């Protein structure tokens, strides 16, 4: 059966409280999920009180503040701090999003932060993404051609390029592989080992509609599977959670339409 409750050693307990050094007018509490593989302790929520006048406006600024000033053992991923690298994805206030794009003042009350749901935790806010990465490799996300390589770049009309980029920049090529979508999808929670999930299916779609790629049929063949593709039941959580405003649910619907077309 699908597992609906956490095992005993994963139940989250109350942790430590860290009051802010300097009190002020703009105080905010951050409840951060903590777990370390180095001891036998259950995960816990540590409470960090932060004086918002001493840190930047985004949630990422607050957790960097904690790491720099309060507890240097706090572990999380981040790189670009501008929504491009996809590494700071986490669940903030009940929604998967990028910490660097999430303004603190959008959260009412305490800011509760956990790692992306339903993945094994490496440490604190860092989830283990090896399965999603392997799934990405499995769809062969590179251009496949039979036509002999030209002496210059392969040409693509502006209209065809727009299918990838979107007229508003929100086409499938805008995906930063943060996995906010996949880890918000109930189908991916239950069958994440076999269902490819919205992030990977959106990227598969990106190659299927690339006018230069010559493996369209093979790509569709590989996707036609009750688990890889058809575990998607159009629940739409994926599109709701994408911090880049992309539409993986629509990409999946388009793949299903092509499957119908392929049958003649």
Partner 1 sequence: MKQNNHSIISDVKKVKGLGSAHHGNGHWMAQRITAIASIPLVLWAVYSVFNLQGVSYLEFTAWLASPLNAILAILFVLNTFYHASLGTQVIVEDYIANFVFRKIKLIAQKLFFIALGVAVIFSILKIAFTMGI
Binding mask 154-193 for partner 1 (x = CB under 8 A): ---------------------------------x--xx-x
238 contacts which partner out of partner 1, ligand FES, ligand SF4, none, CB within 5 to 8 A by kind?
Answer: ligand SF4
Which of 236, 237, 229, 224 lies closest to 263, judged by CA? 224
Nearer Cβ to partner 1, position 197 or 243? 197
Helix residue spans in the chain (DSSP H): 59-65, 130-138, 158-165, 186-191, 197-208, 216-223, 237-241, 248-262
**Smallest distance, Å, CB 67 to ligand FES?**
14
**Smallest distance, Å, CB 242 to ligand SF4?**
3
**Smallest distance, Å, CB 244 to ligand SF4?**
4
248 contacts which partner out of ligand FES, ligand SF4, partner 1, none, CB within 5 to 8 A by kind?
Answer: ligand SF4
- Largest CA-CA distance found in the chain, in angstroms, rounded: 69
- Plot region of 94 (φ>0 → left; ψ -120 to 50 → alpha; else → beta): left
CA distance 13 to 21: 25
How many chain residues bind partner 1 (CB under 8 A)? 31
193 contacts which partner out of ligand SF4, ligand FES, partner 1, none, CB within 5 to 8 A by kind?
Answer: partner 1
**Smallest distance, Å, CB 105 to ligand FES?**
18
Of the chain, the end-to-end C-alpha distance in Å amounts to 37
């Amino acid at each position: 059966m699908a597992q609906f409750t956490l095992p005993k050693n994963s139940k989250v307990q109350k942790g430590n409280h860290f009051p802010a050094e300097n009190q002020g007018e703009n105080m905010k509490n951050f409840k951060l999920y903590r777990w370390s593989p180095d001891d036998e302790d259950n995960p816990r929520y540590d409470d960090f009180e932060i004086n918002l006048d001493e840190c930047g406006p985004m949630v990422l600024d607050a957790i960097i503040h904690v790491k720099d000033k309060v507890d240097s053992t706090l572990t999380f991923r981040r790189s670009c701090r501008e929504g491009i690298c996809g590494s700071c994805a986490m669940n903030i206030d009940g929604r998967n999003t990028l910490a660097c794009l999430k303004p603190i003042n959008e959260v009412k009350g305490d800011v509760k932060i956990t790692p992306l749901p339903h993945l094994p935790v490496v440490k604190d806010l860092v989830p283990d993404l090896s399965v999603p990465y392997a799934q990405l490799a499995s769809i062969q996300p590179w251009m496949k051609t039979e036509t002999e390589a030209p002496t210059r770049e392969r040409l693509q009309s502006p209209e065809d390029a727009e299918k990838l980029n979107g007229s508003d920049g929100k086409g499938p090529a805008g995906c930063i592989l943060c996995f906010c979508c996949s880890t918000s999808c109930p189908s991916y929670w239950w069958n994440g080992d076999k269902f490819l999930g919205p992030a990977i299916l959106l990227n598969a779609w990106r190659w299927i509609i690339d006018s230069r790629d010559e493996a369209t049929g093979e790509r569709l063949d590989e996707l036609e599977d009750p688990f890889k593709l058809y575990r998607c039941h159009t629940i739409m959580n994926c599109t709701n959670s994408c911090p880049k405003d992309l539409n993986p649910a629509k990409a999946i619907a388009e793949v299903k339409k092509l499957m119908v077309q392929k049958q003649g």
